[in-house]
Amino acid sequence: MLNLRELAIPVVGAPMAGGPSTPALAAAISEAGGLGFVAAGYKTSQGVAAEVEGVREATSAPLGVNLFVVEPYEPPVGSLDAYRRSLEAEAARLGAELGDARWDDDDWQAKLELVLDVRPEVVSFTFGCPGAEVLRSLADAGVLSMVTVTSVAEAREAVTRGAASLSVQGADAGGHRATWDLEADVDRTPLVDLVSAVLAAVDVPVVAGGGVSDAADVAAVVELGAVAAQVGTAYLLADEAATKPVHRGALSSQTFATTDLTRAYTGRWARGLANRFMAEHADAPAGYPHLHHLTAPLRAAAAAAGDAQVAHLWAGTGYAEARSAPAAEITRALAP
């Protein structure tokens, strides 16, 4: 089983579902001495299998695969219809037809069977924690399990169920918050304090991320006792990332002054560059993946039109440090 303490560079490439993560990006990070991840979210199990195969063809270095744990959820009565109505004018302007606001489990069982079959070195989970039997089956297969947590309570529960390692996500992270409770407010505890508290509460290897954007940030979490830092936003402009042109342009320009948290795109808290859409839909309801499916055609149309004021532009608070370069170069520059 992989020992995370033995990574040549203590950097884990955050899985970035929905586009930016690619097999080439994962392979480049791992080959450089970090740990790259295939982001399984929003893909079929067959698509994930093809990506794992692509990484394995490019490198023999360790690989991680990230799965979504999507718990059943029913949004408040009437909230989805009201939110759909609030989006109709924007969708019409972009020539998009809003999607079906529905729940699904992101092909959970098929993807779980896949990772038990192909056995990547690490399987991580976000949005929740699988049951003890799942974590035990991974251990039996020689696969290191990693559960993403955003609080001490989540960390303790994950370890109780059998998580072999944790990814501690602070509130400065770009993209989706991994908080298990969909309706919970965002815990804004600074990453340093959160990591310290988790390390005091559990005795498993901890990877820490959220606003980590340079070598000094990596060194800071490692000095606290984390085995590695998890980094996502710093790779959004990597040559191997499939970040959409509108997203790349927004990150590279000085148009956006800050990031913010929003439920407007997917019904789950996520951090991105603060744009008009986020401001106009600050009261979006909780409802994941319902809102994800509802807004998907709208987001695709905005991206195709290059409309950065409507497209989702996930980014952490350290986005200004992101730069265009090969992923291997970015990884080496993050080494403490």
pLDDT tens-digit series, residues 21-63 = 999 999 999 999 999 999 999 999 999 999 999 999 999 999 9
CA distance 76 to 140: 40
Greater confidence (7 vs 186) lies with: 7
Q: Is the pLDDT of residue 254 over 90?
A: no
pLDDT at 174 over 90: yes
**Checking DSSP bridges between strand 165-169 and strand 144-149, what pairing results, if any?**
parallel
- Dihedral of CA atoms 262, 253, 22, 26 in degrees, nearest 10, equals -100
CA-nearest of 63, 14, 17, 56 to 39 is: 17
Question: What is the average pLDDT across 55-74?
Answer: 97
Q: What are the DSSP calls for 63-114, one per residue?
A: EEEEEE------PPTTHHHHHHHHHHHHHHHHT----------TTHHHHHHH
CA-angle at 164, arms to 160 and 112, nearest 5° = 95
Q: 169: helix, coil or strand?
A: strand
What is the mean pLDDT of the segment spanning 301-309?
Answer: 98
Region 5-28: what's the mean pLDDT? Answer: 97
pLDDT confidence of residue 84: 98
Contact 57, 48 (CB under 8 A): no
**Burial class (CB within 10 angstroms; exposed 0-12, middle 13-18, buried 19+) of 89:** exposed
Q: What CATH number does the domain located at 4-70+105-242 have?
A: 3.20.20.70
Is 36 within 8 Å of 120 (Cβ atoms)? no
| Cα distances (Å, whole numbers) of residue 19 to 22, 92, 303 | 7, 25, 12
pLDDT > 90? residue 115:
yes
**pLDDT at 186 (0 to 100):** 86
Preceding amide of 20 cis, omega within 30: no
Task: Convert the pLDDT of each residue in 78-111 to its tens digit.
Answer: 999 999 999 999 999 999 999 999 999 999 999 9
Phi, psi dihedral angles at 323 (to 5 degrees): -145, 155
Contact by Cβ (8 Å): 148, 124: yes
Residues above pLDDT 70, as percent of the chain:
100
**What is the reported pLDDT for 270?**
98
Query: Long-range contact list for 182-191, CB < 8 A, 24+ apart?
Result: 182/71, 182/73, 182/267, 182/268, 182/286, 182/287, 182/288, 183/286, 186/261, 186/269, 187/150, 187/151, 189/151, 191/221
